[in-house]
Chains A and B, each alone.
Chain A
């Protein structure tokens, strides 16, 4: 019998190609007769386009065609997730076109494209395009953009407001705050981030004039969705005439979920030049204007409670910067994925939240790792620490007094955070928060922190310790809920898997999800091998091509294991059932008498009467002898629609030391205790946590997009936008508790985002803890040396 690998830290099956340089990423693909495209991008944050003269560029060496927006008959890109869904809230929608036509709304918006024989020739010709610009005043700050007199971006969005969305019990929360013994108020900024997967995005479009079909290679997390959006909403080309392929994807973190202008552009360009393939790959600097950014919230929070540590209310008002036009699900991130989880793991009796989505002259903003949940966690975890400081109680103790108890699940927040239109609800299904926190505190030596602070102080260092007791919602989402409330893609969110057991017993599984480094080829194989009792190496997992895989919604929101792999479990169950029926046929027994033990199907009580799944597959696939009601081939497809989201949780603790003279912050310890349910491959789970934590730490300490008032991105390259380096990070100390998710047979919850959701707040709380003796109660991220130094200087001047 095959060794069961489910739950084992088995080495990844995709790695041999990556460690030998044989991965196949978008830019590695070369097609015969392929042309290359470069895009001219706006140097202005806000301008009208009076005219574009492409004649000189068209005469440049190697140039095949120059395209402007006026040439392209396509619709603007779709916006698929309005704030409030079907509740009727006004969303003032403006989305990008393949190329801008009349005006540009941020530096980097595309206005013309050159198709040439070589990438060099395409880039060279960009300089010869003459655009007559009429520059306009710009605004980059979401709060300022809503104020009277601010530059206006879109006629249909007065005061640059995309939407105003409310959730929770406003009256109840107002009353709770009015009546509270203690109220703490704070303005906090969750700064804009540039996600920076190491592989930038790119596309290759190929129009086949013979079949009139298009193939689009794209570095995407969602090839099926892109085919749907590009055909049904943008190009008008019939869906069955387009094939989307996502090759190996070099990291994504949300950025590659979306429908981008360049995808439509390469389709148009290929047809425009007679059907030669057209490749476009963004440069890193270009990507800062052509690929989405993340976060960018300005929030006013008010937390109310009593001096005994009980919290009684949380009121939040947030300005969410969505950029110059809307990305595919931009409005959904700061609403559903933010406001609905604002209460964290705490029993807040009263919560209310108002979110204003805002246009500014900046790159569009959409889901970046965690997507709304890191912002929510940051708000509530900072709020808990502010409250604890105000009442003079230990932050861990305040959390302990307010955690939901293990017997309170399924939990429906009394303020109705989980309640959407039509009364449809999301419940928190499970949780046991205190053991995770206790474990983390014990590991980090929380009780000894006072001594450690004194020791550090003697070395000129301010030591701080910070907690983040997070929960997240992932595994999105029940289609029924999405259909009822319209919060989500505007489409269902089930997943699919097909399993074929071929004549030789080898298994090919095709799935609708799409990996970007998570090791799906390994973990799906672990699950299917377990379900069918076969060796892992006999299972191959195919994905990422709309031709040959069943429709799926792709990989994001930590949903592949809980939704996608449950589809695989179901498909395997169907395979098993058909094999069992056929085993009965082969062994001349009743189906009820066939026992399945791994790959063996045997007659109860007759151990000699046994057939393996390989023997069964061979016979079914040949079809020489089938029962009358059975079709040939051991080939089953299943779709899984989850009944609920999943709710990972845990406690992260950061310890920082601040050089009092320079303000430089060092992260000296990091302890994380996460409960992500059962683990299919614990090695991969740990890797996801490591990476997520590093990204969240990056936000706290180094990362931040900086725009000038003129709308120019001043952190416009990796020379000015800092990504975490190896020597800046400590060894991350991971531990776990395991509370299996009740909503899927694997008991898994999802782990892709947990690290990023939890870690930013932990580090932020640690930095503020270190600075608290100076009278500082809050500081906005990132905690660069200068930012911290300024705070320290300010505190010396008597300001906090």
Chain B
């Protein structure tokens, strides 16, 4: 038995027929080919699957696709403004905030949620905000530096946090 869902993904209206058990992350990856959102665990620990639903960071592996009915979903693929990188993307690049890149999309989406709520987070606030995202490569050090740098750029008027749009 499948359910029909209508939602907006990265600004584009989408309709899907999915099994009720289909997780949002599977719908994004398998049905919509948005493979930038990754699956890193099966216990809702790692945060690699983090996307925004109605402006909030959520773990798309811990949400059914049917629960996204009528929602606005944003994934890493929808974060940049055309060819212009989001300040977080630019800062992760600039500060070497990624190595293998697997956790990076989820990490950036979580960081975007933080910066939407807190324009000038301390290192400690950044570290706590990303506690639901595991990175095995960087020891988090340059991720923290990247989020701090992105916050600075956004505050200085370099860009706005499009993630909430």
Contacts and interface: CB of A to CB of B under 8 A. Distances in A.
Asked if A and B form a direct contact in the complex, defined as CB atoms under 8 angstroms apart, the reply is: yes
B93 A19 contact: yes
Given A199-B40, A251-B100, A726-B131, A20 B77 contact: yes
Given A687-B96, A719-B43, A18 B139 contact: no
A758 to B, nearest CB: 13
A12 B93 contact: yes
A732 interface: yes
Nearest to A199: B102
B94 A11 contact: yes
B138 A690 contact: yes
A277 B163 CA distance: 37
Nearest to A519: B99
Contact of B38 (A250, A283, A718): A250
Given A687-B99, A690-B142, A21 B40 contact: no
Interface stretch (A22-30, A205-213, A326-334, A627-635): A22-30
A21 B139 contact: no
A103 interface: no
B95 to A, nearest CB: 9
Interface residues of B, number: 56
B73 to A, nearest CB: 13
A691 B93 contact: no
Interface in B127-165: 127-128, 130-131, 133-144
B63 interface: no
Interface of A is mostly: loop
A196 interface: yes
Contact of B36 (A22, A198, A250): A22
A12 B100 CA distance: 11
Interface in B76-100: 76-77, 79-80, 85, 89, 92-94, 96, 98-100
Interface string A684-710: 101110111111000000000000000
Nearest to A516: B100
Given A695-B136, A727-B131, A250 B42 contact: no
Contact of A517 (B34, B45, B137): B137
A292 B90 CA distance: 36
B126 interface: yes
B40 A198 contact: yes
Contacts of B21: 120
Contacts of B41: 284, 717-718
Interface residues of A, number: 60
Contacts of B123: 731
Given A20-B77, A727-B128, A197 B140 contact: no
A518 interface: yes
B139 A16 contact: no
Contacts of B144: 726, 731
Interface stretch (B1-9, B52-60, B64-72, B103-111): B103-111
B38 A25 contact: yes
B67 to A, nearest CB: 18
Contacts of A44: none
Contacts of B46: 198, 284, 718
A725 B131 contact: yes
Most A CB within 10 A of own CB, among B37, B101, B138, B143: B101
Contact of A15 (B39, B43, B92): B92
A767 interface: no
A285 B45 CA distance: 12
Given A21-B77, A695-B136, A15 B103 contact: no
B35 interface: yes
A16 B42 contact: no
Interface in A245-290: 248-253, 283-285
A719 B41 CA distance: 10
B139 A732 contact: yes
A723 interface: yes
A683 interface: yes
B141 A731 contact: yes
Contact of B100 (A20, A22, A517, A755): A517
A498 B66 CA distance: 51
A687 B36 CA distance: 23
A518 B46 CA distance: 21
B93 A727 contact: no
A695 B134 CA distance: 12
A228 interface: no
A237 interface: no
Nearest to B146: A19
A455 B133 CA distance: 34
24 contacts: A15-B93, A18-B104, A19-B76, A19-B105, A20-B89, A21-B77, A30-B33, A198-B48, A199-B100, A251-B136, A253-B136, A284-B41, A516-B100, A683-B96, A687-B96, A687-B137, A690-B142, A693-B139, A694-B140, A695-B139, A717-B42, A726-B135, A726-B140, A726-B144
Given A11-B96, A692-B139, A731-B123, 18 more contacts: A15-B92, A19-B93, A23-B101, A27-B35, A27-B38, A197-B136, A198-B40, A249-B100, A284-B43, A687-B138, A690-B142, A695-B139, A717-B43, A718-B46, A719-B43, A724-B139, A725-B131, A727-B127
In the A-B complex, list the 5 residue pairs whose CB atoms are closest, starting with the nearest: A21-B36, A18-B101, A517-B100, A250-B102, A694-B139
